[in-house]
Structure 1
Amino acid sequence: MKSTGVCGVLSLLVVGLFCEAQVVVGSGFVATKGTEFIVDGSPFLFNGFNSFWMMTVASQPSQRSKISDVFRDAASAGLTVCRTWAFSDGGDQALQMSPGVYNEAVFQGLDFVISEARKYGVKLILSLSNNYKEFGGKAQYVKWARSAGVEITSDDDFYTNSAVKAYYKNHVKKVLTRINTFTRIAYKDDSTIMAWELMNEPRCQADSSGKTVNGWVQEMATYVKSVDNKHLVEIGMEGFYGDSIPDRTQYNPGYKVGTDFVANNQIKEIDFTTIHAYPDLWLPGQNDNAQMAFVQRWLTSHWTDSRTILKKPLVLSEFGKSKKDPGYSKSARDIFMNTVYANIYELARSGGGIGGGLVWQIMAQGMENYGDGYDIVLSQNPLMAAIISQQSRKMTALEHASSTNPHLHG
């Protein structure tokens, strides 16, 4: 039994705020129909969150209560989609210790995450690799190849080198065909999983046009679908525009990262588009109003392109405001969150085409070592919990309205 000190009182307050937000998601696979998400044939609109750390923490059975706590609090706040990592390459507590060699304890951590998500009615977006060196990522894949005698010139050979691509495909197959030790369901057959993400925030310094990433996405999305044709696939992109429509690069925050939002997402095997929004990181030194104006343009331009050019639904799959920013205040973060949520809701209400947003990021109590400035512990933030719960209720109400009036978005 946990103590009911200040945190306990806050938890009770938050539960009071949450209880009416709880929603039940259909048990079927998430699919797309035009620019909408559907589950069991009905529209699926959501409010969601990121918790990248879940598998790593769950690899230690003594820490698994943290995963249960987050899913319970999230479900109480009406959050129905969670994005998390299904990779950890090399180094301590790695899932993939070396190419094709896996740590069973860590895999069982991921099994537990999926089984808990299922219990609390939360759908998962599982990311399969990382652009960054944290948790291994493309740098680790390239390092493995180099150690095996493969000629490598840079980390961006991840996208083009046949040996490295074989390592990645092997990881995809290993994860997708894994049989969960808790549920006995193969990942590829589990409707708890909403989608596979090819890579967290792919970038390519070697080719700013987006064409190198495009070739890799085409090959890997096709491969994922060959192993698992039941789940949706998305790239993991931040949304930076490339060379295919030069006019769109005006919406970038002053630079390109080697991706092309339009061309990359035109690939047939990619089911929906994603963008991230970090104005505090991308536009340092600009004031809150300028940063918010950027986010509104960013969201609207990608929503428009997703609906009219790509004809696929959009998810704002990462956004947040860091406590580590100069001039940070709780009220500024609350305003930022409220404004982003209002934008998502208005776009969904006025024309559909956006499934929802995933805040970065929700944590459990006692996880300070994972804190990155963006972390939110719902039970310790009643006001933020209330803001999140309100958005969940609004998206659920809109989902119900769409179900009863299919012409709402026409």
Structure 2
Amino acid sequence: MNKTLLFLLAGILIVFSACQQKHEANFVKVANNGFTLNGKEYSFKGANYWQGMNLGAPQSGDQQRLLRELDEMQELGITNLRILAASEADSAMRYCIHPALQTAPGVYNNDIWQGLDFLLAEMGKREMKAVMVLGNFWTWSGGFPQYLRWAGMGEVPYPQEPPTSWQQFTDYSKQFFSNDSAQEMMKNHIKTIIGRINSITGKAYKDDAVIMAWQLANEPRGYDVPKQLQKWMRATSAYIKSLDSNHLVSLGTEGNTADLVSGVNVLIDNDDSNIDYITMHIWAQNWGWYSPEQSDSVYTEMLQKVNSYWDVHVDAAKKLQKPIVLEEFGIARDGSSFSPDTTTNCRDRFFEFIFNKVDESIKNNGMVRGVNFWSYSGEGRPPHPGEFWKKGDTYLGDPPHELQGWYGVYDKDSTTLAIIKRCCESKF
């Protein structure tokens, strides 16, 4: 081979390598049991802000409020937002966000699409990363129950309407994992959103480094059909990877729950090459471990349960050699009040405990490398605290299927925000 050809080939390789590095720049990757960004170790402190795309909608939303709240979170040091990248609801769907992104199978509300475009564009300006939630086991974004309705499986049994029970609802929602028609509808949405071109930035979502990860669903549970859940998770993760090699994929499960009946298993569920990192949720109050009106002795017992739960997930992460994100945790205001005027002493104490655990893990190269608290309500206030969200109500961090004012952190919760800011500013 002559020298001219060698020089030509070398030049081509250099150009190709430079283009590849430029293409991969700013995408979060997984390496050495942790996250990396542009070749450096990466960890993050963030929030759940699922309502962002609805606030960003130019017609039905409030873009100025969205900009103020993004600025507020940036000032706190928040660099990661877990957001909805899907919502499904026809006019009859209840206990869910309206307006929805998808109003019938394959039929989209362009106003909400533009809201998501706007949110991602503004996050990019603030160097924030997005975890994009693609589905939901619960009704608050339509999710599996809406897909099942569209697939002809009958009306949703809403547990918010007695005498319907939560088991009746979960028996309904888990049918998604064996319903080919419902799964195909969601698969079509996944293909649509990964290939979407942002109307503001001109970037395809699959090429947008603002996005850290695609997440299969919010809290999918298998209950008595865990094999069906696992089959769906593996097939869907592989499908996402076949469409997009730039972004990470996570499940969105709680990891484990407080009992065995939910049909999730942090070790088995995440043992798949297409799952890049483990998700963990800690819901001490929902799981009956503690509520703010109880005694300090119960609080101490709750912390012991949290530590044990944490350790089980860390052990699973070590076996799988994958990092963990604690992407949901929260607790109610003092006395379990729904009023925004109620103090947050119990919440502050719990937030400080959790954030300290996360900081300690990051400091010592532990398996937990990121956290998203639940959730940022910003300027929003419930018009009727302790009642369910209704169409036309302001958007809060509390989802529509739960009583409004339960867990959301407001922009005036100064003591809670100070703890979040102190945690976000921790450098190691």
- Report the TM-score when normalising by structure 2: 0.78
Please list every run of 5 or more consecutive structure 2 residues that lacks an aligned counterpart in the other structure: 1-23, 91-97, 155-170, 292-297, 383-393, 397-403
Q: Return the alpha-carbon distance in structure 2 between the equivalents of residues 303 and 73 of structure 1.
A: 32
Alignment of 1:245-264 (within 5 A): 252-264=257-269
- What is the CA RMSD across the aligned residues, in angstroms? 2.0
CA contact (8 A) 1:198 1:234 kept: yes
Instruction: Measure, in 2, the Cα distance between the counterparts of 1:352 and 1:140.
Output: 39
Deviation digits for residues 135-173 of structure 1 (CA, Å, limit 9, x no counterpart): 21101111111179xxxx943221122222211110101
Residue identity in the other structure for 1:47: K
**1:219–1:324: structure 2 CA closer, same or farther, 3 Å change rule?**
farther
Q: Distance in 2 between matches of 1:167 and 1:206?
A: 24
Residues 55 and 115, structure 2, Cα contact 8 Å, conserved in 1: yes
The answer to whether structure 1 residue 90 and structure 2 residue 84 are counterparts is: no
* Mapped pair 1:42 → 2:40: yes
The aligned amino acid for 1:316 is: L
**Residues 201-240 of structure 1: CA distance to partner in whole angstroms, max 9, x if unpaired?**
0012342xx3221101100000001111100000001011
* Equivalences for residues 298-309 of structure 1 within 5 A: 298-306=309-317, 308-309=318-319
Larger Rg, first or second structure (1 or 2): 2
1:232 aligns with 2:240: no
What SS does structure 1 have at the residue aligned with 2:185?
Answer: helix
Is the CA contact 1:131–1:200 (under 8 Å) kept in the aligned structure 2? yes
Q: For residues 92-113 of structure 1, what are the alpha-carbon distances to aligned partners after superposition, in whole Å with 9 as ceiling and x for unaligned?
A: 4111111111111111011111
2:329 is equivalent to residue 319 of structure 1: yes
Q: Which moved more, 1:274-283 or 1:368-377?
A: 368-377
The letter for the 1-side match of 2:182 is V
Query: Distance in 2 between the 1:46 and 1:347 partners?
Result: 12
Instruction: Kindly provide the amino acid, as one letter, of the partner of residue 247 in structure 2.
Output: H
Report the CA distance between 1:38 and its aligned residue: 0.3
Alignment match, 1:310:
320
Deviation at 1:350, TM superposition (A): 2.4
Q: Identity across aligned pairs (percent)?
A: 29
Corresponding residue number in structure 2 for 1:401? none
Letter in 1 for 2:252: G
- State the match for 1:292 in structure 2: 303
SS of residue paired to 1:316: strand
Change (3 A) 1:97 1:196: same
| Rounded Cα–Cα distance in structure 1 between residues aligned with 2:334 and 2:54 | 24
Is 1:280–1:291's contact at 8 Å kept on the other side of the alignment? no
1:106 aligns with: 112
Letter in 2 for 1:357: V
What TM-score, normalized by structure 1, do the two folds share? Answer: 0.81
Cα drift, residue 176 of structure 1: 0.8
- 2:190 aligns with 172
The CA distance in 1 between the partners of 2:181 and 2:33, in whole Å, is: 36
Q: Which runs of 4+ in 1 moved over 6 A?
A: none
2:371 aligned residue (344, 357, 361): 357
Higher-helix-fraction structure = 1
**1:138 maps to 2:144:** yes
